[in-house]
Amino acid sequence: MNIVLIGFMGSGKTAVGRALADNQGLNFIDTDSEIEKNLDLSVKEIFHGHGESHFRSIESKIIKEISEITGNVISCGGGVVLNPENIELLKKNGKLIWLDASAETIIGRVDIDKRPLLQGKDPEGTIKNLLAGRRNLYESAADMVVNTDGRSIGQIAENIQDLIRKERGN
């Protein structure tokens, strides 16, 4: 199986995913990095040069490819839940874990400069609105939920390992 991390920007998916993969001896895949490699451009450049819809279509292509392989920790871009087909594919070989975080936590953690969706005049308001609109998508896609507010990368990774162990019954 794959361990698939979903959640809003700044919820810690990449850092937690790396820690989990190290602890478990699994391969780590970050969908944003795969998209960047695919086009040899940064996420920001893709949004600005080609538009969000092009980014989303490459994102879905990458998801299709990585949903065929197993034994990975996969960290997904925050918008992966916008396309139900992405979720269906990821569930074939993966357990989806939602790293939940409050808007306040996200505002404190996210590097706004690297996030094309937060480039307007009011990034904090945008975070709140996007999060409110997506919360139910994360919730319905998730097999398990881990709250990350006020917790370290190591604590979150351990929490996920415990949940997976319990699910496997050992």
Using CB under 6 A, list all residues that contact ligand S3P.
Answer: 9, 13, 32, 43, 77-79, 115-117
Q: Which is nearer to ligand S3P, 57 or 167 (CB)?
A: 57
3 state SS of 120: coil
What is the C-alpha separation between 101 and 153, in angstroms, rounded? Answer: 13
3 state SS of 144: strand
> Nearest approach, Cβ of 10 to ligand S3P (angstroms)?
7
Q: Which is nearer to ligand S3P, 140 or 167 (CB)?
A: 140
> Nearest approach, Cβ of 8 to ligand S3P (angstroms)?
7
Q: Which is nearer to ligand S3P, 85 or 170 (CB)?
A: 85
Per the CB < 8 A criterion, the answer to whether 9 and 110 are in contact is yes
> Nearest approach, Cβ of 72 to ligand S3P (angstroms)?
16
Q: Tokens representing 105?
A: 């936590």
Query: Which amino acid, one-letter code, is at 153?
Result: I
> Nearest approach, Cβ of 115 to ligand S3P (angstroms)?
5
What is the C-alpha separation between 20 and 27, in angstroms, rounded? Answer: 10
